[in-house]
Amino acid sequence: MLTWLFGVVLFALGICVSVALHEAGHMWAAKAFGMKVRRYFIGFGPKIWSFRRGETEYGLKAIPAGGFCDIAGMTALDEVTPDEAPRAMWRYPTWKRFVVMVAGSVTHFILGFIILYLLAATMGLPNVAGTPVISGTDCAAPTQDPRTGEYADCGPNDPAPARDAGLREGDEIISIDGKATPTWSDVVARVQTLSGTHEFVVLRDGVERTVTIDIATVQRIAPDDTPNDNDDNKLVEVGAIGVTSTPIYTYTAASAVGGSIEFTGEMFVRVWQGLLAFPEKIPKVIEAIGGGERDPDTPVSVVGASIIGGDAVEAGVWELFLLLLATLNFFVGVFNLLPLLPLDGGHIAVLFYEKIRDWLRKLRGKPAGGPVDYTKLSAVTMVFIFIGGAVMLLTITADIVNPIRIGQ
């Protein structure tokens, strides 16, 4: 229990550090351009302590649920003192304001990449996409125990189709008989329907090679059956080539850079796909609150993520802990760039609107327009805040009454 609590607290601390660095990204960019940063605080609510260095007050507040960076004149509606007016943020060129607004998300991306690099260089990166990379070749075990699901030991005369064809560790199976196999599941499903000789295209050292494999016929538990202590599981004849997949990619300190960059690209794709699928998963969150089974693919709040982090530490699966923390940083970074106020992306959208509007006015011989009146966007902002708050409340409630757990 103490180990689990340590994991929960440690993950929550990781979230706090991420938020602090997000706001620090805004602050560093603003200061670099000469804008006045009045305050930089971690948390909300009553002030616990603070100190002043130069013109900026730094401090900590009682509720560790975020933070803020107060830049003078972020919009033309913000009140500024006479000495602040020349350095008000809204007076600066669009590209400088853009850099300041995007700096928070960029900080998340950098932090996520650093976590992935440390994970790659020490424990390796998981094959989350299920890419069909071979980790080893052995015999195609002729039978499988219907009670336990375990394969029979390899004998000297058992077929080893993949090994005999020259496949080796690190090869990626690209296609079988001209049909693409982008995932390991595709390879397994395809091979199990075949027997005899077939053409496989594998990727080795960046070069595609075509090999002919004589697929063996073996006995396996029918796909729809589950191994148990009874003898009722049905054995069927399927194809097999005797290979295992790569669950973890390992790297050296140098090669981890390239591996982390590639994995970061995969993370961006998965995060974006998750955001697009987010609305359709909300009903399942509501069902979970009502006592239904919690779908592990449903959204989680920082509470739920911390619980999973605690489970990972308790189980000793630190790679899951770090991967979850990196994923959270990528998610928050991408989410903050959505063109919705009061997110950073909403402010960026206003910047681009002003730039495009002024460009069109210039083409018609008109002077540039003034800064956008944010009061006209207040209704849309409040709707988004209401919906976002409701979703946050739902996920937090689900994570308290019916959390997603691992190893239980």
Which residues does the annotation mark as catalytic? 23
From the CB of residue 175, how many other CB atoms can be counted at a distance below 10 Å? 18
Tell me if 159 sits within 8 A of 139, measured CB to CB. yes
Q: How far apart are CA 98 and CA 26, in angstroms?
A: 10
Q: Residue 247: CA atoms inside 13 Å, Cβ hemisphere, count?
A: 4
**Which tokens hold the place of 278?**
């987010």
Beta bridge partners of 210: 201
> What torsion, rounded to 10 degrees, do the Cα atoms 8, 11, 12, 18 define?
180
Q: How far apart are CA 379 and CA 366, in angstroms?
A: 30
Q: How far apart are CA 208 and CA 238, in angstroms?
A: 27
DSSP structural state of residue 72: T
56-71/134-137 β-pairing: unpaired
Beta bridge partners of 208: 203
Q: SS3 of 55, please? A: coil
Tell me if 187 sits within 8 A of 173, measured CB to CB. yes
